[in-house]
Chain A
Amino acid sequence: MSLSPLRMLQVCNSSLWQPELLDVSFVFLDPSFDSFLKMADGPVIEFTGFMKAFRLFRENRLSEAEVVCTNLLRKNPLDQATWALKMQCLSDSTFVDELDNEDMGLAETFLEQNVIATSARPGTSFQRPKTTAKGMNPIMRPSTNAGRPLSGVVRPQTSFKAGSMDQAVRTARTAKTARAVSSTSARNMRLGTASMAAGADGEFVNLARLNIDKYAADPQVNRQLFEYVFYYVNDIRVAHQIAGTASKSASFEDYYWKNQLAKCYLRLGMLNDAEKQLNSSLNQRKLIESFALLAKVQNRMDQPVAALKTYAQGLESFNEDVTMLTGIARVQEALGEYDLSVDMYKRVLDVQSNNIEAIACVATTHFYDGKPEIALRYYRRILQMGVSSAELFMNIGLCCFAAQQFDFAVSSILRAQSTMTEDVAADIWYNIGQVMIDVGELEYAARAYSIALTHDPDHSESLVNLGILKHRDGKIDESRAMFSSAIAKNPLMFEGNYNLALVCLAQGRYHEAKNLIGKALEAFPDHEHCKRMYENMKPLYESV
């Protein structure tokens, strides 16, 4: 039987990430004003009116700034500066970096036809990573729910197309593992909450009645208007119209608008148009954002080689840029080229030694490479940087355990257990179960798996391992049920298919066993035992 391996927890990168930090609003920067503030160290100066709103905005107190703006607008609804500032406040409060916003819904994944080659040469497509690469071994390195090898951090775009749409629809989707039906609907949900926060006045700008062509052509307010419509209202069609008009009024010479148009096209799924805009923007001015967006578009088209080229071009203009390097590392990882990917992450660390994603990915690769001590040092580094999450402690615990430092392992795991949140509880209990099996406490292990399943009934790895324990106790039917439900939860899982096949074989259900081994081989083509069983079964079929 094949046990599901230890699962490193994916460090949640986005918890570190604060949208406010990314906000770029130095357009309004006024140094003389700051020095004026410093000189007046007497009584606190009370700002009023627009200046107050502006100061609040500069201090990132967006909701307060917005209230001031609202009051001002009530007095003078035609004040364009206040109007623009309020829009800026609103859009900043819902700002998401488009580069990181890669959640593809089911609809986009299965019903879009932007991909030219559905089965390109292995290594040139995300659908077909190099199977010979050593990282693609599901026994050594577990895979995610979507059939991808586990990576160091939680990041979007790890959910690529696998299997048919039918399968994807039938695969259990819970609030936790949710994959949105389509990216527009996921955002529409966000839209609802955002406008509710806006207050009782109803919508701030009535887009249906706004003279879009007039405001979109006005360079004073069009950027704010665009961002408001794009990020806050989420009406991509209107946003596209604004960007188009603005780009025209800037006589097609403003790279900013070309990038915004590309973002709109990307959201609308018009990848070719997005690519065109970005190329034209890059011809005009080379920007990191444009390179990254272009590579993102190419990734969406499933052309990783093109994306790698784009990143390389970006690196030519921006030497050792972290965004570019990270991009290369991510693409290489998705293609199964772990060595190249880790090399890239190391380069990232040379430039920016506190890059969590790079550290976590390098650590994960080291761990699954059989070097837990080294992985441990990387995880400690993250801890030193002041991140302390249950995932991190669990990973440190697992590293210690694998490196035979049991005292540390137990204390770290206990720490993880005490700080864990609901969304990682199942994984943590699962790993505790693994540790229990390794120390020979099978009873406790079974209990740990059961607890993991109470936290997340869809935790297929726990189901598989619990199934193995049941099988060991001679409860064959129970274990069969466990394996089949594990397969139902995650059809791409190697262990579930393989173990059930073994059970079927023992029970003489050859046909079922053959099908299951076929599926197991799909997930792990190089598994020797599977291959041999398949070969053995062939003559049986041929003789019939």
Chain B
Amino acid sequence: MDGDETPEEQLEIGDSSQVPHFDDNVELKSVFNFSLNQRIMEGCVVSAILEPRGVETIVAVSMTNKVIIKDVESPLNITETIRCIAAAPIGDGYDCIVIGTDASVICYDVHNNLTVFRNDVPDGVNCFAYGKLGDLEEAIYCGGNCCIWGFDKTGANTYWTVTGDQVTTMCLSDYDGDGETELVIGSPDFEIRVFKNDLMRAELMETDEITSLAHVTNGCFAYSLNNGTIGTYVMKERQWRIKSKSNVSKIFNIEEQGLMVVVWKQGKVDLRFAHNGEVLSRDSVPTPVASATCSRNAEDATITVVCLDGKAKTFKVQKATSGAVDKTQQMIREFGQKKHNLMMELSNYEQEEQMTEAEKAGDFRIPADTEVGVMFIVNCEVQLLSLRVEATHNIPIRGVLIFAEGLFEGESYIWIPPNEHQSRSAIDIPLVIDKDSTNDLHTKVFLGHVDSNKLMVMENTRILPLFCRFTPLKAEYSKFFIMPTGFIKFDINTRAAKLSEWVSESFTIDASLLDMFDEPEGEFKFMGLRPKHEKSLMFKITQSDKTFTIYHDDIETMGALVQSYASFFQIQHMECVANFPDVFKEAEEILEELEPMTEVRDRLTAELQERQAAVKEILIRAEDSIAIDDIPDARKFYIRLKANDAAARQAAQLRWNNQERCVKSLRRLNKIIENCSRLRVGEPGRQIVVTCRAAISEDNKQIVTKVLQYGASSQ
């Protein structure tokens, strides 16, 4: 099995000083196999108790868009396209199946054959989480495109908020260990966001798309990324992570024993310690995995892994029978490896001692006090930020290796001179940064003379500031400053005394320029660097009315600026006046067209239904004709069927196009609301979301842009 051979790389590991001791003498044991006899859709497998006093059974979604229940003959038939499935214990002692489709959430009670509720979610549902969030009642949380919905067990909408991107995975976990659960969501924009009730609590930047999240213990949750990384966060900090070439399908935890089970898409199944990721036992299934589920019948947990071809294998966690022996073997091997490395190093030193001076000189040694400087420099002429690597004593640089997560394509950047005689002692590496995020740049610089066969490696770490895309405008380059039209204006908080501290942390700036930011009044201009070099930035502090104005055109960056500013000065609550004419105009346009669009959709749906009814009727009539051997008439009916079918298809296409546009607009509107909410800090930001939601559902659209502009308290 090739999945088993995939090398793993331990990226970081937390200090394990106070880790409780867990029994490591456990293993995964394959219990039995069965088959669902259908191809299964990826990610759509749950286990649920479907009848009172029943046992947990497997519920999956087939590729043919049917819900399959294990050991039940006929599948459930859902007319819309299924995207995800979950089980929620809202029946009377049993679970109901919750089905997320591209247009609605359906909660279905299998035992009584009744739809508990069916709610429209216009842009579809991608994932579910069921449970108690903060001080809210238990509910089903549905992650959609840029928004999250919550429905209670009667189907009433109890929760709604917006987020920065599509929600691909969610879990309810106590993120900060305060005894209340938070909603942790993962998005394709590399971010894990944590919501406490409906207020965003934290944003955790990761290095790739988040593929799954799982609650582990109080204050701890596990995550996995598209690039094969898995890891855990404990009390807001990342505890460990491990990278592998394969992709994670699902993570479960077995809390009592401090274990977690990781199921990989390629078929690998690992049992690991939750506190350090150490693998205790592995097993595998022969074909690619669709998803897996964990059921807890009578004390011990069983894990059922369902493959894409419908085959399923069940594992149990039990006391190891041969685990101890394996462990010793592995340890011996590790020590053997270590010994070998040390011996190599020793022999190097011995060799050194035996060498003569002449030999040493021929080696092109570099002086012992050679240093390598790594700094950020800005080339104003081309508006480009670069990383300058410079070696003293004119030692040529033979190669630079920069490791920075998510900054470069493929994580690291390698610079090698095109031809070794062109190596210089100073080089500039351009940094074209798309995102506003702090990043650690780990550089390894290889030094050595051209003819030398040994290179010296110098390591260095630099922190890339959050807003390194901006640099203070110098007078001679004022042509690059384009006055932005968008701005926000807020009152200066007494805490924010020294602006220079924030500026020095968040921007690449010369220390000599810092002092000017502490002046009580003034305008501070920044120019943008590539790739968004046409977007300039300006701070304006007015002492007369004690306001701080930030001019910038990109609303997302503005949001990041505000959040960074607030968190630096620990401001919990900040309202502002925003002015982004383009964005507000767009929002208004969307609101304008939304209503006619839903109306048209209704009409188109009715038309489609009518056409479909005609098709069905003709089909029956044709069958009738065949049954009485009236072939000429049957032929006529089939010709008519063809025409009607074409008409029905056309109607369906029309409706689909309309729907697509409608969903797109909705997504954009959600995004705008989210962006505007991020221009405020704390409660005012939350209020904007709530007020906009209320205004839209109450058809009170005029106030939406006003709220976005002046905040929720403005009305």
Chain A residues close to B by CB (< 8 Å) = 105-108, 110-121, 124-125, 165-166, 169-170, 181-182, 184-185, 236-237, 240-241, 244, 248, 251-252, 264, 268-270, 272-273, 275-276, 298, 301-306, 309
* Interface SS majority for chain A: helix
Q: Say yes or no for B620: interface residue by CB 8 A criterion.
A: yes
A237 and B606 contact, CB distance less than 8 A: yes
Q: Is the CB of B616 within 8 A of A117?
A: no
Using A124-B112, A170-B627, A182-B616 as known contacts, say yes or no to A275 and B118 having CB atoms under 8 A apart. Answer: yes
A112 to B615, CA, bound (A): 12
- List the B side residues contacting A110 at CB < 8 Å: 620
Return chain A residues, CB-CB under 8 Å to B424.
none
CB neighbours (8 Å) of B613 from chain A are 107, 182, 184, 268-269
Known: A114-B79, A116-B108, A169-B624. A306 touches B609 (CB 8 A): no
Q: Cβ of A120: which chain B residues have Cβ within 8 Å of it?
A: 110, 113
Q: Is B74's CB within 8 Å of the partner chain A?
A: yes
Query: Is B135 in the interface zone, CB < 8 Å from A?
Result: no
B521 within 8 A of partner (CB): no
Among A182, A264, A269, the residue within 8 A (CB) of B620 is: A182
What is the 8 Å Cβ interface bit string for chain B, positions 604-621, against chain A (1 contact, 0 not)?
A: 011101101110110111
Interface flag for B420 (CB, 8 Å): no
Cα distance A298–B79 when bound, in Å?
16
Beyond contacts A107-B617, A169-B620, A306-B115: 11 other A-B pairs, Cβ-Cβ < 8 A, are A116-B108, A170-B627, A252-B699, A264-B606, A268-B606, A268-B610, A276-B118, A302-B113, A303-B115, A306-B112, A309-B114
- The reply to whether A236 and B599 form a contact with Cβ atoms under 8 Å apart is no
Given contacts A169-B624, A169-B627, A251-B699, contact A119 B616 (CB under 8 A): no
> B76 at interface (Cβ–Cβ under 8 A)?
yes
Contact of B118 with A272 in the complex, beta carbons under 8 Å: yes
Within 8 Å CB of A182, what residues of B?
Answer: 613, 616-617, 620
* B620 and A119 contacting across the interface, CB-CB below 8 Å: no
Task: Given A117-B77, A119-B74, verify A185-B617 contact (CB < 8 Å).
Answer: yes
Q: Is the CB of A116 within 8 A of B76?
A: yes
Would A165 and B623 count as touching, CB distance under 8 A?
A: yes
Question: Which chain A residues border B621 with CB–CB below 8 Å?
Answer: 181
CA distance A166 to B51 in the complex (A): 35
Interface residues of B in 94-134 (CB under 8 A from A): 104, 108, 110-115, 118, 120
Q: How far is A240 from B112 in the complex, measured between Cα atoms in Å?
A: 32
Report how far A117 CA is from B59 CA in the complex, Å.
Answer: 14
- CB-defined contacts of A302 to chain B, threshold 8 Å: 113
B327 within 8 A of A: no
- Chain B CB count within 10 A is highest, among A114, A181, A302, for A181
Residue of A with least CB distance to B50: A121
Q: Across the interface, which residues of B come within 8 angstroms of A118, CB to CB?
A: 74-77
Produce 1/0 per residue, B686-699, CB < 8 A to A: 00000000000001
Whether B74 and A269, one on each chain, are in contact in the complex, defined by CB atoms closer than 8 angstroms, is no
With a cutoff of 8 Å between Cβ atoms, the chain A residues found around residue B603 in the complex are: 240-241, 244
Most A CB within 10 A of own CB, among B73, B607, B614, B616: B616
A117 contacts across to B, CB distance below 8 A: 74, 76-77, 110, 113
Chain B residues positioned under 8 Å from A270 (CB to CB): 605-606, 609
**Would you mind naming 5 contact pairs between A and B with Cβ atoms under 8 Å apart?**
A110-B620, A169-B620, A169-B627, A240-B606, A269-B609
Q: Which of B111, B114, B605, B624 contacts A303 (CB 8 A)?
A: B114
Q: Kindly state whether residue B334 has any CB partner on chain A within 8 Å.
A: no
Whether, in the assembled complex, B602 has its beta carbon less than 8 Å from a beta carbon of chain A, the answer is yes
A270 to chain B minimum Cβ distance, whole angstroms, is 6
The answer for the CA separation of A113 and B73 in the assembled complex, in Å, is: 18
Q: How far apart are the CA atoms of A352 and B620 in the complex, in Å?
A: 42
B631 at the interface (CB under 8 A from A): no
Q: Mark B581-619, 1 if CB is under 8 A from A, else 0.
A: 000000000000000000100110111011011101101
Interface residue? B1 (CB, 8 A): no
Tell me which residues across on chain A come within 8 A of B115, comparing CB atoms: 116, 301, 303, 306
Contacts of A237 in B (CB 8 A): 606-607, 610
B617 touches A119 (CB 8 A): no
Report Cα–Cα, A112/B609, bound state, in Å: 11
Q: Does B78 lie at the interface of the complex (its beta carbon under 8 Å from any beta carbon of A)?
A: yes
CB-nearest residue of chain B relative to A119?
B74
Contact status A305-B114, CB under 8 Å: yes
A268 to B605, CA, bound (A): 10
Residues of A within 8 A of B79 (CB): 113-114
Q: A118 to B416, alpha carbons, bound, how many Å?
A: 66
Q: B108, B610, B624: which contacts A181 (Cβ < 8 A)?
A: B624
A264 to B619: give the CA distance in the assembly, Å: 23
Give Cα A111–Cα B605 distance, bound, in whole angstroms: 18
Query: Once the chains bind, are B620 and A107 in contact (CB under 8 Å)?
Result: yes
Q: Collect the chain B residues with CB atoms within 8 Å of residue A111's CB.
A: 616, 619-620
A182 to B620, CA, bound (A): 9
Q: Which residue of B lies closest to A125 (CB)?
A: B113
Please indicate the chain B residues that have their CB under 8 angstroms from the CB of A115 in the complex. 77
Within 8 Å CB of A165, what residues of B?
A: 620, 623
Residue-by-residue, is B65-89 near A (CB-CB < 8 Å gives 1, otherwise 0)? 0000000011111110000000000
State whether B610 touches A124 (Cβ < 8 A): no
On chain B, the residues within 8 Å of A305 by CB distance are 112-114
Q: Top 10 nearest A-B pairs by Cβ distance?
A: A120-B113, A306-B114, A124-B113, A107-B616, A182-B617, A268-B609, A305-B112, A111-B616, A119-B74, A303-B114
Q: Is the CB of B606 within 8 A of A181?
A: no
The winner among B77, B112, B599 for most chain A CB atoms within 10 A is: B112
Q: How far is the CA of A275 from the CA of B610 in the complex (A)?
A: 18
Please indicate the chain B residues that have their CB under 8 angstroms from the CB of A298 in the complex.
114
Cβ contacts under 8 Å, A113 to chain B = 77, 79
CB distance from A487 to the nearest CB of B (A): 16
* Of listed A115, A269, A272, residue having the most chain B CB within 10 A: A272
B412: min CB distance to chain A, Å: 51
A106 to B602, CA, bound (A): 26
* CB nearest to A181 among chain B residues: B620
> Closest chain B residue to A302 by CB distance?
B113
| In the complex, residue of chain A having the shortest beta-carbon distance to the beta carbon of B108 | A116
A275 CA / B106 CA spacing, docked (Å): 13
Min Cβ gap A108→B in Å is 8
CA distance A116 to B627 in the complex (A): 30
Most buried by B among A107, A114, A303: A107
| Complex CA–CA separation, A404 to B699 (angstroms) | 72
CB distance from A16 to the nearest CB of B (A): 32
Which residues does chain A contribute within 8 Å of B112, judged by CB atoms?
121, 124, 305-306
Asked whether A121 lies within 8 Å of B111 as measured between CB atoms, the reply is yes
